């Protein structure tokens, strides 16, 4: 899920950064992404709980960015999309505990998967939303 979520959230937040003084509604955002508005509202709920945006209910409502795009690094957006999962997760299947490798693989793999996450965060911490949005 991280896969699509990062793209969706970055798209949303880029829109919000470009129209930072307007309340953008979920139907408009969904139209830009070409996905269902309910899915957008679900992602907006996550962005809201992470403090990046605020929302206004009722007529002429919508959402807007709370932070300056210069102060948001892409790593922050990535971490929201990532949640508590690893980007490359291990299998749902339980490996064979009677196997020398099977019984230890998830522990050892987990370390590598964590390093992968951190490598991404480190890289994306060097690019701000401001820089990204100015490409449009």
Q: What DSSP assignment string belongs to 89-129?
A: PPPSSPP-TTSTTHHHHHHHHHHHHHHHHHHHHHHHTT-BH
Q: Cβ closer to DNA: 59 or 107?
A: 59
Angle in degrees, CA 126, 130, 134, rounded to 5? 115
Q: Cβ closer to a second copy: 58 or 111?
A: 111
Residues near DNA (CB under 7 A) are 1, 3-5, 25-27, 35-39, 41-42, 44-45, 48, 55-63, 90-93
- Would you count residue 66 as binding a second copy (CB under 8 A)? no
Taking the CB of residue 106, how many other CB atoms lie within 10 A of it?
A: 13
Which residue ranges make up the site for a second copy (CB under 8 A)? 2-4, 6-8, 10-11, 14-15, 18, 31-35, 74, 87-96, 99-102, 104-105, 108-109, 112, 115-116, 118-120, 122-124, 127, 132, 135-136
């Amino acid at each position: 899920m991280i896969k699509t979520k990062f793209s969706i959230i970055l798209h949303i937040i880029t829109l919000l950064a470009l129209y930072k003084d307007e309340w953008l509604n979920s139907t408009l955002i969904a139209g830009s992404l070409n996905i269902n508005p309910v899915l957008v509202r679900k992602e907006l709920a996550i962005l809201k709980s992470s403090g990046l945006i605020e929302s206004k209910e009722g007529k002429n409502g919508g959402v807007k960015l709370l932070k300056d795009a210069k102060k948001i690094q892409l790593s922050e957006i990535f971490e929201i999309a990532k949640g508590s999962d690893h980007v490359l997760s291990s299998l749902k299947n339980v490996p064979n505990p009677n196997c020398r490798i099977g019984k230890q693989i998830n522990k050892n793999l987990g370390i590598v998967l964590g390093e992968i996450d951190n490598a991404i965060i480190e890289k994306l911490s060097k690019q701000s939303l401001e820089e990204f949005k100015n490409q449009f």
